[in-house]
């Protein structure tokens, strides 16, 4: 059958009924498959959208619950007592109380990361007088919620894509910022009832090797990292909303005078009458600017405050002030660990004392110390 006859058969109901005997041969036609199931076109169209404004569908709902029922003071006190008893914090503080299998660190070990909050930018000075810009990251009350073994994580939606052609690794679920369980759904709070922790506002998954496993309820502090170490910071950039081509892509714009009418900040032509006579994919046009996931790799830690769990990294990180970021060991091959870090994580001394409150990099100038030596 010719192409014209095939199209008439497809889009004519009477012809489709009369030629029912020819349908099996039509379904096997490559033209029909390419007409209705153009997988290449679907793939190229999906890559245009680079961001999502809603959480993925596999996340457990944690919508804020608002109750209009008025509860008496006695009942409210009783509810709070039940909550405290159910989510009693059993998080160990001493490393000796943890049932951790002692394993040795090797260069291929992947440790867990932490969830932190960007609290601003501060200037520091090196010993040679150079001023550097440092981003201050506050490590929140991080606790291990769950460990997903490699066999189970490889069957999940994300794990099946990540470890499609390589050996699977385990996954550690870490939570931060404890909150009131009355404000979240029962399904979301059930994630924390097994480990005995208050529900966390933030959850993150970190891919780790089997020799860096941490049991549930284990706290992770700023001592998880060391000064001079290179880390990768993962966050979401500043959301600028809908912007034009001048601000979004840095276009020059049109002339300011001499016949220019309503063309001062426009982008000009977006296509041509020749060649394909269409707009090419990826054309720089006005649209949503920012709010994209970004990595900043190889940032150096120059200072760690153990008392307040604050980390100073050299440079800037994605996101505005008060945004949530994730910090983990760098993946750059030339800036990885050469010596064993706190493995699998840092545990404070059993007596509760801090060995040093403020730890600075040797290249950093500490105010209060003599700057000139004779």
Is residue 237 domain-resident? yes
d(CA 25, CA 215): 60
pLDDT at 26 (0 to 100): 40
Distances (CA, A) of 51 to 212, 243, 293: 32, 16, 8
Q: Are 27 and 20 in contact (CB under 8 A)?
A: no
d(CA 112, CA 174): 9
Q: For residue 326, give its domain range.
A: 107-243+288-360
Tens digit of each residue's pLDDT (9 = 90 or more) over 242-296: 999 999 999 999 999 999 999 999 999 888 777 778 888 888 999 999 999 999 9
Give the contacts of 274 (CB within 8 A, at least 6 positions apart).
none
Q: Are 294 and 118 in contact (CB under 8 A)?
A: no
Is residue 84 domain-resident? no
Is residue 366 domain-resident? no
Is residue 19 domain-resident? no
223 confidence band (pLDDT: 50, 70, 90): very high
Instruction: Kindly report the CATH number assigned to the domain that includes residue 116.
Output: 2.40.30.10
Tens digit of each residue's pLDDT (9 = 90 or more) over 112-143: 999 999 999 999 999 999 999 999 999 999 99
Model confidence, pTM: 0.78
Note the helical H segments in the chain. 3-11, 13-18, 23-27, 30-36, 39-46, 73-86, 150-153, 157-162, 186-193, 245-249
pLDDT at 202 (0 to 100): 92
Tens digit of each residue's pLDDT (9 = 90 or more) over 47-85: 556 676 666 666 677 776 666 667 788 887 887 787 777
Distances (CA, A) of 126 to 249, 306, 361, 364: 35, 21, 9, 4
Is residue 276 domain-resident? no
Is residue 140 domain-resident? yes
Tens digit of each residue's pLDDT (9 = 90 or more) over 206-215: 999 999 999 8
> Looking at the predicted structure, is the pLDDT value of residue 297 above 80?
yes
pLDDT at 145 (0 to 100): 92
Q: What are residue 242's phi and psi, to 5 degrees?
A: -80, 125
> Looking at the predicted structure, is the pLDDT value of residue 365 above 70?
yes
- Tell me how many degrees the CA angle 329-335-340 measures, rounded to the nearest 5: 60
d(CA 360, CA 357): 10
Helix (H, G, I), strand (E, B) or coil at 191: helix
Is residue 179 domain-resident? yes
Per-residue pLDDT averaged across 183-201, rounded?
85
pLDDT at 92 (0 to 100): 43
Cα-Cα-Cα-Cα torsion 185, 190, 191, 192, nearest 10 degrees, comes to: 100
98 confidence band (pLDDT: 50, 70, 90): very low
pLDDT at 351 (0 to 100): 73
Is residue 356 domain-resident? yes
Quick one: which of 112, 126, 325 has its CA closest to 219? 112
Total domain count, the chain: 1
Q: Are 65 and 185 in contact (CB under 8 A)?
A: yes
Where does residue 95 fall: left (phi above 0), alpha (psi -120 to 50 degrees), or beta otherwise? Answer: alpha
């Amino acid at each position: 059958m010719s192409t014209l006859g095939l199209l008439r058969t497809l889009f004519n109901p009477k012809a489709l009924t009369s030629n029912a005997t020819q349908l099996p041969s039509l379904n096997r036609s490559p033209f029909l498959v390419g007409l209705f199931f153009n997988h290449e076109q679907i793939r190229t169209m999906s890559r245009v959208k680079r961001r999502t404004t809603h959480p993925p569908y596999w996340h457990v709902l944690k919508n804020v619950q608002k109750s209009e029922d008025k509860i008496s003071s006695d009942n409210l006190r009783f509810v709070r007592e039940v909550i405290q008893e159910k989510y009693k914090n059993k998080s160990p503080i001493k490393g000796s109380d943890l049932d951790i299998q002692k394993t040795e660190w090797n260069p291929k070990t992947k440790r867990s990361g932490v969830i932190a909050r960007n609290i601003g930018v501060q200037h520091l000075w090196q010993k040679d007088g150079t001023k550097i810009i440092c981003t201050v990251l506050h490590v929140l009350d991080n606790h291990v919620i769950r460990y997903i073994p490699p066999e189970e994580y490889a069957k999940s939606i994300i794990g099946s894509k990540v470890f499609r052609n390589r050996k699977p690794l385990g996954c550690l679920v870490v939570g931060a910022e404890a909150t009131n369980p009355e404000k979240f759904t029962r399904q979301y709070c059930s994630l924390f009832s097994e480990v005995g922790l208050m529900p966390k506002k933030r959850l993150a998954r970190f891919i780790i090797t089997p020799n860096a496993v941490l049991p549930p309820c284990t706290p992770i502090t700023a001592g998880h990292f060391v000064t001079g170490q290179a880390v990768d910071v993962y966050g979401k950039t500043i959301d600028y909303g809908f912007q034009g081509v001048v601000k979004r892509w840095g276009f020059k714009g049109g002339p300011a005078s001499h016949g220019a009418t309503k063309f001062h900040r426009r982008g000009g032509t977006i296509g041509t009458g020749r060649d394909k006579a269409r707009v090419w994919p990826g054309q720089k046009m006005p649209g949503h600017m920012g709010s994209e996931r970004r990595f900043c790799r190889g940032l150096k830690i120059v200072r760690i405050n153990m008392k307040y769990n604050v980390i100073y990294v050299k440079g800037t990180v994605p996101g505005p002030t008060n945004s949530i970021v994730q910090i983990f060991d760098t993946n750059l091959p030339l800036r990885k660990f050469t010596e064993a870090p706190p493995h699998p994580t840092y545990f404070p001394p059993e007596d509760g004392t801090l060995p040093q409150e403020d730890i600075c990099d040797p290249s950093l100038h500490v105010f209060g110390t003599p700057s000139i030596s004779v």
